[in-house]
Structure 1
């Protein structure tokens, strides 16, 4: 059902347009786009404004994906289509809305907290491994970017393994839709790498900044 897929992406995209970092910055009188790394996400919020800001920004960016996915579930749960697949489409839309908000000239965040929301809402069984991937990368290196990418890879690998090795109930959709589900998960992961391309370049050249939280 192509229409359901399009509706799901659009619901996600418009939910993703809620830029928590931009809104919080306006409230506090700090434009995160012009401070620190220039990113409006969790890491830069913590660096510039402290842990309280980071928690608020992270929660807002995470829950907007959850809300979009719940809305799609409510819309299509009684239909004949694969509602779990539509939920992932909504998650993709939320990440796209966060990364490329039209009203900010398509310059948004990196979508990591939003991706966490997608994982939590679409398949919470994946959360422990994704969290382990994140901390296993961040704790020894201090690089939040590396942890974020490791988490996204953990999501993609688990998605494929759940579909290939696990029972149908793990992904919650018929096997006929597994390949499409894998592709959407790969796109979400790919977006994280695209948005972190400068970080990846700095990591390669040993110039990436380690995480240092602000004192506020």
Structure 2
């Protein structure tokens, strides 16, 4: 039951579509431009740097706040399970962000929200993910590569640290957490499937260029 509660609560938090809301304030639905989604990268390309920062922070913080709320609610009563419930709550945020029912399930790609989950879960993974994103985008100027690296590193390090006994989970809860983090990664790859096709074809948009 706790898992369902966290998932549903997270989904509600995810419905706060920062990019869509910001666009509406300036009378522009960013889903009608660029890549067609309401996430940070499209907001940056369509509405500019200020919008990009605001949208990222909004989508990032809704995941951080939800995960901290779950930790507050279950950290003392269910300490052995609380980190797993935080992951479920964060997954709910990503699902709500990616598939908001009131926008015909057309949202963002969930990377900013996933980053919010990562930073609340483990500082070591956060640092490596940040380094992977910054270095890859600095070299390639392709945001999608950095985004996919983040979720891949998240999965790899979570499993590695878990198997080494360096996560606050054990037994079946730890194994279950591997599956949940795998879902985070699979969702990101699925939402980036068009980007992956363009990467294979060598036509992916580079940071600073106009969206095709």
Scaled by the length of structure 2, the TM-score of the pair is 0.94
Runs of 4+ in structure 1 over 2 Å off: none
Equivalent residue for 1:196, pick from 189, 192, 195: 192
**Contact 2:84–2:177 (Cα < 8 Å) also in 1:** yes
The root-mean-square deviation of aligned C-alpha atoms, in Å, is 1.3
SS in 2 for 1:210: coil
Structure 1, unmatched stretches of 5+, are none
Structure-2 separation of matches of 1:213 and 1:132: 23
Give 1:176 shift: 3.1
SS in 2 for 1:207: coil
Structure 2, unmatched stretches of 5+, are none
**Contact 1:45–1:54 (Cα < 8 Å) also in 2:** yes
Equivalent residue for 2:180, pick from 184, 188, 192: 184
Aligned residues: 209
Give 1:110 shift: 0.2
Partner of 1:62: 60
Scaled by the length of structure 1, the TM-score of the pair is 0.93
Superposed CA deviations along residues 25-44 of structure 1, whole A, max 9, x for unmatched, are 01112210011221211111
**Contact 1:11–1:72 (Cα < 8 Å) also in 2:** no
Partner of 1:122: 121
SS in 2 for 1:7: helix
Does 2:34 align with 1:11?
A: no
Give 1:23 shift: 0.2
Structure-2 separation of matches of 1:78 and 1:127: 24
Give 1:213 shift: 6.9
Does 2:5 align with 1:24?
A: no
Partner of 1:33: 31
